[in-house]
Chains A and B, each alone.
Chain A
Amino acid sequence: MSGTISGWEIVIGLEVHLQLATRSKLFSGAATAFGAEPNTQACAIDLALPGTLPVLNRAAVEMAIRFGLAVDAEISPVSVFERKNYFYPDLPKGYQTTQLARPIVGPGHLDIELADGSAKRVRIHHAHLEEDAGKSLHEDFHGLSGIDLNRAGTPLIEIVTEPDLANAEEAVAFARKLHGIVTALGISDGDLSQGSMRFDVNISVRRPGAPLGTRTETKNLNSFRFMERAIHKEVARQIDVLESGGRIVQETRLYDGDSDTARAMRSKEEANDYRYFPCPDLLPLHVDTAWIERLRATQPELPDARRARFAADYGLSDYDAGQLAGDTATAHYFEAAAQAAGDAKLAAKWVMGEIAARLNSADLDIARCPVTPAQLGGLLRRIGDRTISNAIARQVFDALWNGAADADTVIEQQGLRQVSDSGAIAALVDQVIAANPRQVADYRAAPEAKQPKMFGFFVGQVMKASGGKADPRQVNELLAERLARPD
């Protein structure tokens, strides 16, 4: 699957910054909630006021350990926080507290599934704990920038892969798999649009067998779609440069998803000398085996196990189970809907069908789906007990999507209950037969082999006359009987 593009082999490694879902910051007791007024979640420690000191958040450490366990990594018994020194207005201390020589999570791996169904092992070099920076807002304040430090100090783990990915599709498959794992672990809300998971992509190309080419780093991609596009774009650019006799310059690039363009950052990379050294305000972090084992024993179910369980418990195909289990929010939605519906297969069909299609066209995450699992379940129950037909179900679903409270109310208010009163349906059948004497005569005269096709016409007419509410099975039965019986 690691094929080439016009004779070039692509080499991709990822660095993923994952915001951890802690209540408070990595080194301070300030809140981490998203969307607060500027600088209302930046306390004296986050602002690096003189004399303030860091104290490490236990939950952040445990989340990092949980991640390490999920990717089969060794958890370092001793890890060390270091200072990475550089000046930037969104970095209040003038250094980022991070880990370098002794990260908390050592080498691990993650298996991804390729398009042909085969598996590929992607090695994880390490993952370390660090703090996020603030944000520079570029709206114009009389030619100045505004600095919001609410995000400063938010805990991150940075996950660094080996350069094992061979194309954009693999990179995206890895990213999605990772997303499924960290959301299943509950260590991140996985909300890409809010920057909870940000991807830096290291890309180089080479002729097969040649040494690694010069790589570029495209920073801060915050959606799978942008990541895919940015990789395609950068690969094409590098091939272009090389084929026209140019050389790749090692640089950091920014991709703008809205305009689908990328450019090199203006800040001068070569001037950086981060002068890492152990942070003297923090002591070495010791993690003992008992702690690790306690966390291992309480690891939540991960996507691969969930997939197997979906297939086994719900009788879903392996493919369907994979579709539903890979993404945690989808899996939770599905399970809740299945329970509410009392029919897992029907729930699976709807979640992968109607729900997925609607979310896609509205560009929404399943977490923001206007129809709750309980609402969907209520609707599916009415299909199951034949209160409504599939066709009417779509109509009810529309109403739920647009804010209706529950399926039963919609069915009652709009009078959508399926008509299964055989007397009423027989009357409609009589009415249709009386109104279409020529078609009835043709049908009766036709050879038996042709009749089924002609039969559909009468079903359609009866259903139309019932406003779609007639029970199709009864319609079929009564029509067949009536047409077989001469007038």
Chain B
Amino acid sequence: MAIQRADIEKLSFLARIDITEDTLAATADGINRVLGLIDQLRAADTAGIAPLAHPLDATQRLREDAVSETVDREALQAIAPAVEAGLYLVPKVIE
């Protein structure tokens, strides 16, 4: 079941990756080839099999509740594209 232009547009928005008109067809083609590959999964008999999200049979480790991080804002914001008054600047947020 090949994905269509509308699917690509939806994925482009969900993933926030702009896809221009001239690359849309090639993008769709590449994705469809991969979907062809992963569609092989359908043949697998997985009835009653619990999904394995993680290879480890382990439990989440817990950290004691202590302030262990010191924040050097200047160093952390030296790599930021746009900051002012200690804030990260972005185009207007509209709720």
Q: Does B84 contact A (CB under 8 A)?
A: yes
Q: Does B48 contact A (CB under 8 A)?
A: no
Q: Does B54 contact A (CB under 8 A)?
A: yes
B residues within 8 Å of A by Cβ? 13-14, 16, 53-54, 56, 58-71, 73, 76-77, 82, 84-95
With a cutoff of 8 Å between Cβ atoms, the chain A residues found around residue B84 in the complex are: 141, 146
With both beta carbons as reference points, the residue of chain B lying nearest to A147 in the complex is identified as B88
Q: Does A485 contact B (CB under 8 A)?
A: no
- Contact A285 B91, CB 8 Å, known A23-B65, A31-B67, A273-B14: no
Chain A 82-114, CB within 8 Å of chain B: the 1/0 string?
A: 000101011000000000000000000000000
Counting chain B CB atoms within 10 Å of each CB, the highest count among A61, A146, A265 belongs to A146
With both beta carbons as reference points, the residue of chain A lying nearest to B75 in the complex is identified as A44
Determine which of A58, A254, A280, A286 lies in contact with B64 in the assembled complex, contact meaning CB atoms within 8 Å: A58
- 30 example contacts (A-B, Cβ-Cβ < 8 A) are as follows A22-B65, A23-B67, A24-B67, A29-B67, A30-B67, A37-B86, A39-B76, A41-B71, A42-B76, A43-B69, A44-B69, A49-B76, A56-B62, A56-B63, A58-B62, A58-B63, A59-B65, A61-B62, A136-B93, A138-B92, A144-B89, A146-B89, A147-B90, A148-B86, A265-B95, A266-B94, A266-B95, A283-B59, A283-B60, A285-B60
Which A residues, 15 to 66, have Cβ-Cβ distances below 8 Å to chain B? 22-24, 28-31, 37-45, 47, 49, 55-61
A residues within 8 Å of B by Cβ? 22-24, 28-31, 37-45, 47, 49, 55-61, 81, 85, 87, 89-90, 136-138, 141, 143-149, 254, 265-267, 271, 273, 275, 277-278, 280, 282-286
With both beta carbons as reference points, the residue of chain A lying nearest to B82 in the complex is identified as A144
With a cutoff of 8 Å between Cβ atoms, the chain B residues found around residue A40 in the complex are: 71, 73, 86
Q: Is the CB of B94 within 8 A of A137?
A: no
Q: Is the CB of B67 within 8 A of A143?
A: no
Task: Give A26 Cβ to nearest chain B Cβ, in Å.
Answer: 10
Q: Is the interface of A mostly helix, strand, loop or mixed?
A: loop
With both beta carbons as reference points, the residue of chain A lying nearest to B14 in the complex is identified as A273
Q: Is the CB of B87 within 8 A of A55?
A: no
Task: Give A286 Cβ to nearest chain B Cβ, in Å.
Answer: 4
Bound CA span A278–B91, Å: 31
Q: Is the CB of A280 within 8 A of B71?
A: no
Bound CA span A282–B61, Å: 9
Determine which of B13, B54, B73 lies in contact with A271 in the assembled complex, contact meaning CB atoms within 8 Å: B13
Task: Give B66 Cβ to nearest chain A Cβ, in Å.
Answer: 6
Q: Is the CB of A89 within 8 A of B93?
A: yes
Q: Is the CB of B76 within 8 A of A38?
A: no
With a cutoff of 8 Å between Cβ atoms, the chain B residues found around residue A141 in the complex are: 84-85, 87, 89
With both beta carbons as reference points, the residue of chain B lying nearest to A278 in the complex is identified as B53
Q: Is the CB of A39 within 8 A of B69?
A: no
Determine which of A42, A60, A266 lies in contact with B65 in the assembled complex, contact meaning CB atoms within 8 Å: A60
With both beta carbons as reference points, the residue of chain B lying nearest to A138 in the complex is identified as B93
With both beta carbons as reference points, the residue of chain B lying nearest to A59 in the complex is identified as B65
- Contact A283 B65, CB 8 Å, known A39-B88, A273-B14: no
